[in-house]
Amino acid sequence: MVKWLSRKLAQQVSAVALMVGMLASPTLAKDPFRTSNARPISDRTESAFRAIFEKGNYTEAQRILQQGDPNEPLAFALKGMMAYVNWQGETDQGRKQALLNEFRGYGAQTRTIAQQLAKSDPLRGNLYQAVGTIFEGGYVAATEGTVRGIPQILGSLQEAFRYLDAAEKIDPKDPELNLIKGMIDLLLTTTLNLPLSSPNDAIARLQNTAQPRYVADRGLALGYRDLRQFDKALQSIDKALQAAPDNPELSYLKAQILVRSQRHNESIPLFQKALSKRNQLPAYTVRQIESELGRAQKQVGQR
């Protein structure tokens, strides 16, 4: 579960980190989170972020990230997320271990670069030290298991929350902070049932102050899905799809929500739409979609 949390957080980091008013001041490159007080996030990092969260195109993101920004912790968080996702889908044990080592290394680099950034931008510096720390917990979960590794995992989460609290003291309405912290809080409460935060507080963050909107709406859809509030989940995913209609992961998420609403027949075209872009998705995600499509087809007697 904690391993799954690490992957999901890293994805939303980047959503986790997770584009509507995302074109920031032209003099400050492109900040995917802010329309005012924009940060100097490079065009390459912003393009990789958009490739993942707007287009659901991991192949394009992987290519862009080969020439990442050495001073931007978001770039290394994205690289770490990509390594983790690829690790999940890898079957060769040697390559699998290499990808896990990459994930650990990018997590450490995220944290190191964030420490340096904290001197000039303490909010984002603390925010990405939290992300790097959570990656460390994800590595422990992947190597030790959630039972043996739970003391270290919980320690990482507690340390991450100290960084997040420090960032929030600087600007409690910052959209990047609220996107990432909202996603973390929802995942902790709805997936792990850890009493470290409130789902209502997380939903309020994502609804009111998180940006970009379609990543925040994706997070709301995930949270409402896991809270079994399916009407609200569908409203949120439809908003996300309006802004990013070509993202196959959003079609996949809507299909999942429909399945949980016992609307299996409606889910099938959405699973198929997601699979029509299989070449840009991680192998692990493709296998999951294929499996869930097969179950939905079986429910309606198509197989």
Tell me what pLDDT residue 42 has. Answer: 92
Residue 227 in tokens: 């809270």
Q: Which pTM does this prediction carry?
A: 0.86
Tell me what pLDDT residue 5 has. Answer: 46
Q: Is 205 helix (H, G, I), strand (E, B) or coil?
A: helix
* 236, containing H or E segment: helix 230-243
DSSP secondary structure code for residue 72 in this structure: -
Q: What is the dihedral of CA 40, 210, 223, 48, to 10 degrees?
A: -20
Tell me what pLDDT residue 200 has. Answer: 86
Tell me what pLDDT residue 22 has. Answer: 32
What is the separation of C-alpha 303 from the centre of its chain, rounded to a whole number of angstroms? 33
Tell me what pLDDT residue 145 has. Answer: 79
Neighbours of 66 (CB within 10 A): 9
Question: Mean pLDDT for each 10-residue chunk of the chain (303 residues)?
Answer: 46 37 39 93 94 96 90 96 92 94 97 98 98 93 81 90 97 97 87 68 94 95 94 98 97 98 97 98 95 96 71
Tell me what pLDDT residue 10 has. Answer: 44
